[in-house]
Amino acid sequence: MRFLPFKRLALAATFSVFAASLTHAAEAPKEIRLDYAYYSPPSLVLKRFGWLEQELKADNVPVKWVLSQGSNRALEFLNSGSVDFGSTAGLAAVLSKANGNPIKGVYIYSRPEWTALAVPKDSPIKSLKDLKGRKVAATKGTDPFLFLLRALHTEGLKKTDIEHVSLQHADGRAALEQGKVDAWAGLDPLLAGSELEAGSRLIYRNVAFNTYGFLNTTEKFASSYPEQVKKVIAAYEKARKWIMANPDETARIIAEEAKLPLPVAKLQLSRNDFRNPIPGEEHVKAFKAAAPILLEEELVKKGTDLNKVIDALVEPAFAKAVVR
């Protein structure tokens, strides 16, 4: 039997320890950064109770929360590396991925009816047809913007038939209530607030044109830290189940976090369905049905294979491993 010289044994041991440390380093990031958003009740509940911080305590991984004011902002944060997880509308995520943002949709935080077309309470506008030639506010790259385009198409209208005013959601509400625009593709809770506080009227609603609330991460994070992705989803699952069991307390949390009157928070919450958190075929079909609008309105490059983009975006494996 041959024995390695002492120096070679020591070197081998040192290398083994070094390799093990590298493996361990790859298993957990130094920090996990997530957005929270007033349109995502689970993110507010999760942030309030610190369940993710508890989930990651054993890994010694701190959590950083970043406020997101809309899908466009969340997607910008993901693309720039400012966050590891971002809360967006599903179709907005499709649009972003089609334009080069390397993301994966790993969890459904709600099935909301969070957008509709609103006009001032005394507006003469009664229907979609009346929007032709009018100023309509909508935040570009978000579900309300895509909702607006799909709504217009139902009446044979296009974006060029209106004067689109691109404003962030809060500015869109203000512009509507100040009479600076004729209509607004709003987003809850701002939309609910405008209804209850300013008397704004909804002239067009369509639950099917509201796309799902997706929790996205980057492809790099998902491949580098699969266990942490599952731990984030596990914490979201705890929040989702708690919301379904405690709607009144959830509404209070939304009201406090977003600084809203409680009736506004309750109206927003009532327009969310939290029952199906696993991304899957239902979502793929919905996105593929909606995808043509992205090509027709030239929001993506001509010839983009959107079916391929959608298939690459929707990733059920992480949620399937966690959700029970």
Size of the chain in residues = 324
On average, the pLDDT of the chain sits at 92
Question: Please, are residues 52 and 75 in contact by the beta-carbon 8 Å criterion?
Answer: no
Query: Would you state the pLDDT for residue 19?
Result: 40
Tokens standing for 96? 């972003």
Residue 25 has pLDDT above 80, yes or no: no
Confidence of residue 27 (pLDDT cuts 50, 70, 90): confident
Residue 139 has pLDDT above 70, yes or no: yes
Range picked from 1-5, 21-25, 262-266 for highest mean pLDDT: 262-266
pLDDT tens digits along 140-176: 989 999 999 999 999 999 999 999 999 999 999 999 9
Place of tokens 């003469």: 124
Quote the distance between the C-alpha of residue 283 and its chain's center: 14
**Domains by residue range for the chain, with CATH:** 31-112+212-322 (3.40.190.10), 115-209 (3.40.190.10)
Question: Please, are residues 273 and 72 in contact by the beta-carbon 8 Å criterion?
Answer: no
Quote the distance between the C-alpha of residue 106 and its chain's center: 11
Name 172's Cβ contacts closer than 8 Å, sequence gap at least 6: 137, 138, 139, 144, 165, 181, 184, 185, 186, 190
Count of CB atoms situated within 10 Å of the CB of 308: 10
Report percent pLDDT > 90 for the chain: 88
Query: Would you state the pLDDT for residue 236?
Result: 98
Query: Would you state the pLDDT for residue 26?
Result: 54
Distance CA 139, CA 146 (A): 9
Q: Report the number of secondary-structure helices (H) and strands (E) in the chain.
A: 16, 11
Residue 104, H or E segment: strand 103-112
Of the candidates 209, 187, 206, the residue with the CA atom closest to the CA atom of residue 286: 209
Query: Would you state the pLDDT for residue 141?
Result: 87
pLDDT, average across residues 290-298? 90
Name 188's Cβ contacts closer than 8 Å, sequence gap at least 6: 39, 112, 114, 115, 267, 268, 271
Distance CA 293, CA 149 (A): 7
pTM, full prediction: 0.87
Q: What is the dihedral of CA 244, 246, 251, 257, to 10 degrees?
A: -100
Angle at 309 between CA 271 and CA 279, to 5 degrees: 40
Residue 78 has pLDDT above 70, yes or no: yes
pLDDT tens digits along 198-226: 999 999 999 999 999 999 999 999 999 99
Report percent pLDDT > 70 for the chain: 92
